[in-house]
Structure 1
Amino acid sequence: MYLDIQNTSIRYSGQAQFAVDGVSLGLMAGEIGVLLGPSGCGKTTLLRAIAGLEPIVAGQIRLADRVVATPALSLDVKQRRVGMVFQDYALFPHMTVAQNVGYGLHGLSATAREHRVQEVLALVDLQASSQAYPHALSGGQQQRVALARALAPQPDLLLLDEPFSNLDVELRQRLADDVRQILKRARTTALMVTHDQQEAFAMADKVGVMKQGRLDQWDTPYAVYHRPGSRFVAEFVGRGVWVPAQLRMEAGQLLVQTPVGALSDPQECPLPDAYKDGRCEVLLRSDDVVYDPASTVRATIVRKDFQGADFLYTLELEGGLQVLSLVPSHHQHEVGERVGIRLDMDHVVTFEAA
């Protein structure tokens, strides 16, 4: 394991509660990890501890086969060979792009330094802007300069703290895709903090979901979405609602009965004996509930949100239960209209009834 964090806890002076409580996670060389969670959950604190900016009170942090932090040992920030990209980019306004990128390159000849600066600028596609000043660049370009500066010294690990938070939504997603490709080309191991799920899924090989200082799940984005390890992860990742369900075996096949209809023999679902009397709750996300005019299950549209290619409909079933449905926008329906719906899902997320 290239980055190996074992049972690590962090507590701020004078506070009884841990800011980070017994967190363990790992990244292989070249992998990109993303820590996701609500504000105050400890994700940035953990990032700062990896960088050497916060001491740990329990556990161990290893990086590139070196122990960099224990309660009794804390390597200096410079000794850790960690690069950081911050929310505000922290570019020097009086320096050109090339000067900003070359700022951390110490001990190199002028020729070697210039070669490395041009190499990283090519990596982030900013060669033509090498003599420009930060104020002349767009927000996305400034973020690329900050990334190039962090990559220039070839750090063992790159840490990114909410790197796209100052950008508009469309640019954030596009830049997240671009940054992932840049890091993969550079074979850089990276750990990023964000509260934005779309950024996390666009960037990550591994996603960690944190809550109140604890890591609820550390897994692939696919597994976190389709196989959430806790009710909190299931609710935090994606949009959905919980509905009551009955699991039972019928003719040798598993049947999942819900108010929106029945599922027969889904690919992934616990067996009925996992819950008392087979009763549980199923998470229905908006892409699990599909529009079907032929369905006998009818629901009333109580809200519609236009999202370009899709409408997000809030639908109310008989009895008052509401579900969400993401429907292609060429299916145009009005609030108050009754429509047919059915379930279309393979991964059934179930938990004990709340």
Structure 2
Amino acid sequence: MSHLKIQSINCQYNQQIVLHNLDLQLAHNEILCLLGASGCGKTTLLKAIAGLQPISQGKILLQGQDLTSVPVEQRNIGFIFQDYALFPHLTVAQNIQFGLDKKSADEKQRILYDMLNLVHLSGLENRYPHQLSGGQQQRVAIARALACQPQLLLLDEPFSNIDSQIRYQMIDEIKQILKQQGISAIFVTHSKEEAFAFADKIALMKDGKIIQSGETDKLYYQPNCKFVAEFLGSCNYIDCYIDEKNRLHSLFGVQQLNDEINLANGKTAKKNTALQWLIRPHHIHIVPNLQGNGLILHKQFLGQYYQYQIQIVGSATLTEIKVQSNQFLSIGQKVQLSYQDTHPILWQTDL
């Protein structure tokens, strides 16, 4: 049984539907990212799960219980807001213990020190939020949410206020905490880098709909449409076709495919039909070659790698290439491009 199951839910504002017939599942101890541009419905879906946004259709099931008519305070769901929503007039200890009123004094103290140890804030329990760094404030918010032993944790843009130099350290720490505690979580972000680093699965949204969901690497390497492919990274689309002998013809030459190939939308690729081949720029191998099939038109140094814009010899196509920084090449230099892929991602040219 799924830990969380969302069945065909709709949400609307002022009679305008903002979430369209959404279905989603979350397993126990799994972290799911709702990814997408601003205004696509990510936070609305998060609030609907929490009970902060009413739904006009469908069901939300948590461990088999229908939450549709359950009040917010009875859902046993933790929510961490973008600004952490710590109480400025309360100490770290008081913030963490907020919501534990039904516990005995001894139990509250035990939970407090368990949480302080868990989030590495021991010794800071008497400080106030303004005396903490952004990362420490986030740890307090995590501790407060986990102190109530929620069945599900929701996080709205949890890393946006963290300095970029420590952001991925915090992502790793919080992911370890959630895994250690066996907590299922859903978080919202517009950053694909955060999604890849923190999530087990991604649900990519657009205009109130989930376009594709699944394991993070599956969405990157097996996108079901160009929107998904382009949202998750730079793309090259190489003209190609498959002949009757199941050979792929492209600017990289001819290569034999082992199996029948399906298009990204699941349909069978037709023989001798114009197709486009998705290739990520950093997957293409590039070497200097005076007789090569590419000419460097432009380059950018992006820290970990150079990004080259290359014209294919004899074609008007411009292909964006990313290579590691040890490949120092010059504008105007001829290069040879090569790439092998026995399971290419293909689209019809009119998609």
* Structure 1 residues 324 and 66: CA distance shift in structure 2, 3 A: same
2:347 counterpart residue number: 351
CA separation of 1:314 and 1:145: change in aligned 2, threshold 3 A: farther
Give 1:249 deviation, angstroms. 4.3
8 Å CA contact retained: 1:41, 1:213: yes
Amino acid at match of 1:138: S
Contact 2:277 2:347 in 1 (8 A): yes
Asked if 1 retains the 8 angstrom alpha-carbon contact of 2:288 and 2:334, the reply is: no
CA distance in 2 between counterparts of 1:261 and 1:222 reads: 27
Q: Structure 1 CA distance, aligned partners of 2:4 and 2:54? A: 17
Q: Is the 8 A contact 1:118 1:127 kept in 2?
A: yes
In 2, distance between residues paired with 1:160 and 1:303? 41
Q: 2:279 aligns with which of 284, 291, 311?
A: 284
1:132 matches 2:127:
yes
* Match in the other structure for 1:149: 144
SS in 1 for 2:306: strand
Q: Does 1:33 align with 2:32?
A: yes
Distance in 1, matches of 2:157 and 2:255, equals 40
Q: Distance in 1 between the 2:98 and 2:129 partners?
A: 14
The aligned counterpart of 2:95 is 100
Find the aligned partners of 2:226 and 2:214 in 1 and give their Cα distance.
15
1:19 partner SS: strand
Matches within 5 A, 1:25-104: 25-69=24-68, 74-104=69-99
Instruction: Kindly provide the amino acid, as one letter, of the partner of residue 3 in structure 2.
Output: Y
Deviations 1:315-340 (A, max 9, x none): 22233312222212111122333322
Aligned to 2:197: 202
Show the counterpart of 1:11.
Answer: 12
**TM-score for the superposition, normalised by structure 1:** 0.91
Sequence identity of aligned pairs in percent? Answer: 39
Counterpart amino acid of residue 9 in structure 1: N
Cα deviation 1:169-195 (Å, max 9, x = unaligned): 343223222211111011101011111
In structure 1, the residue corresponding to 2:282 is in which secondary structure? coil
Number of residue pairs matched by the alignment: 345
Instruction: Indicate how the Cα distance of structure 1 residues 107 and 327 shifts in structure 2: closer, same or farther if over 3 A, else same.
Output: same
Q: CA deviation at 1:270?
A: 2.5
In structure 2, which of residues 329, 342, 350 is the aligned counterpart of residue 333 of structure 1? Answer: 329
CA separation of 1:303/1:230 partners in 2, compared to 1, >3 Å: closer, same or farther? same
Distance 2:331 2:83 in 1: 43
Farther off after superposition, 264-273 or 182-191: 264-273
Letter of the structure 2 residue corresponding to residue 128 of structure 1? G
- Equivalent residue number for residue 251 of structure 2: 259
Q: 1:335 to 1:293 in 2, by over 3 A?
A: closer
Distance in 2, matches of 1:19 and 1:167, equals 29
Gaps of 5+ in 2: none
Q: Which residue of 2 aligns with 1:245?
A: 240
SS of 2:262's equivalent?
A: coil
Distance 1:169 1:257 in 2: 43
Ranges of 4+ aligned residues in structure 1 off by more than 6 Å: none
- Unpaired segments ≥5 residues, structure 1: none
Shift of 1:266: 6.4
Whole-angstrom CA distance in 2 between matches of 1:117 and 1:11: 40
Contact (CA 8 Å) 2:257, 2:343: kept in 1 or not?
Answer: no
8 Å contact from structure 1 (residues 299, 316) kept in 2: yes
**1:127 counterpart SS class:** coil
Task: Output the TM-score relative to the length of structure 2.
Answer: 0.91
| Matched letter for residue 303 of structure 1 | H
Shift of 1:297: 4.2
CA distance in structure 1 between the partners assigned to 2:94 and 2:259 by the alignment: 55
For residue 316 of structure 2, what is the aligned residue in structure 1? 320
Shift of residue 47, structure 1, vs aligned partner: 0.6
Whether the 8 Å CA contact 1:290–1:326 is kept in 2: the answer is no
Give, in whole Å, the separation in 2 of the partners of 1:129 and 1:241.
51
